[in-house]
Structure 1
Amino acid sequence: MGAVAASARLSWAAGVVAPRPGERVLEVGCGHGVLVALLAERAAEVVGVDRSPTMVTAAGRRNHAAVEAGRVRLQAAALHEADLGPHPFDVVVSFNVRALSDPAQAVTWDVVSRVLAPAGRVVVAFSVMAPGVEDDVVAAVARLAGDRGLVVAAVHRGETAPFASAAVELHHPADADRG
């Protein structure tokens, strides 16, 4: 696959995730599939899920070759309704997906916890659009993930345009020092 035209924030997020060859990656809220494409350049398999059929159609066009090659699978569904298959994911990632910081959407974390491999990691990335947003999102993600046995391993920050970006990286406690 050739180079993917991507925003600074999604390129930054792909660098934070840095999937290793052979890893299975799940992107929650894949949108147009830009991050899916960046991750598929390194990972063995990327599954992208988005509630919007329009977004998944666009992601399918963008990732057509990878879909045909079996490296990318896309689904239009809410995460808790998606068919994610029987195999765990090494990485679960999202960018600007409120469901991962909203206590009213805790079912999203139930799914993440269920599909994450024992040594897997979760990267919840987001745009920092106002003062205090980073602290609030990090605290909410830490609390919701913590209720499912995950701990914050790192908080990454990126000076991306048009807004700064941040990402909370989480692991199971035994794996938190791998960061």
Structure 2
Amino acid sequence: MATPSQRLAWAASVVGTTAGERVLEVGCGHGVLAALLAERGAQVLALDRSPTMIAAADRRNRAAVEAGRVRLQASTLLEADLGGGPFDVVVSFDVRAFWDAGAPTTWGVVDRVLAPGGRVVVAFSLMTPGTERAVVDAVTRTAADRGLVVRAVHRGRTAPMESAAVELRRAPDRSGPAVPGGS
């Protein structure tokens, strides 16, 4: 298997999963990050809307899929079958749905599936000046509507371009999604 890109190896270190954690990766592409997280002992559900990318991710992660450490779905986040309990970590790399016009709907799904005490890592490439501030601001605003607060902003000197990641957790006064009709 080829050596993972600096960007995805860096992202895996930022996520920092531990054995047994349940991870939802949104926009998995070729499955490189899913493979790195599974190697650390995480149980990974990796989504990509492209069946071609899921086929590539399946080839890369065949042993982990067969061992039950990685599950793959050709689906958008909004249409995915996310059953089976909450996720300890939700991670994405260069998935605009976390900071563009679709963000409120995206964060609604994250809010629904994130475990109490869970975390979210939204990583992205710094392709143009001002990208970091604009993305961090958009993620911060939209995630705050779901009770998530920025814990840290990480920056990586990765090739071919630098990367950044916004790490979020639930606000201390909020342990999980609101329950309709609950008190």
TM over 0.5: yes
- Aligned twin of 2:160: 162
Matching residue of 1:109: 107
Residue identity in the other structure for 2:126: V
Say if 1:59 and 1:98 are closer, same or farther in 2 by CA, change over 3 A: same
Which structure shows the higher helix fraction? 1
* Pairwise CA distance, 1:107: 1.2
Report the aligned-residue RMSD: 1.3
TM-score (norm 2): 0.91
Runs of 4+ in 1 over 4 A off after TM superposition: none
Letter in 2 for 1:51: R
Is the CA contact (8 Å cut-off) linking 1:45 and 1:72 kept in structure 2? Answer: yes
Find the counterpart in structure 2 of residue 58 from structure 1.
56
SS at match of 2:102: helix
> Does the CA contact (< 8 Å) of 2:103 and 2:142 recur in 1?
no
Residue in structure 2 matched with residue 123 of structure 1 by the alignment: 121
Identify unmatched segments of 5+ residues in structure 1.
Answer: none
Gaps of 5+ in 2: 174-183
Alignment TM-score, normalising by the size of structure 1: 0.93
Distance 1:145 1:130 in 2: 23
Kept after mapping to 2: 8 A contact 1:154/1:168: yes
Query: Where do 1:146-157 residues align within 5 Å?
Result: 146-157=144-155
Q: Secondary structure at the match of 1:125?
A: strand
- CA shift at 1:170, angstroms? 0.2
Q: Distance in 1 between matches of 2:149 and 2:42?
A: 26
Tell me, in whole angstroms, the C-alpha distance in 1 between the residues paired with 2:70 and 2:116: 22
Sequence identity (%): 69
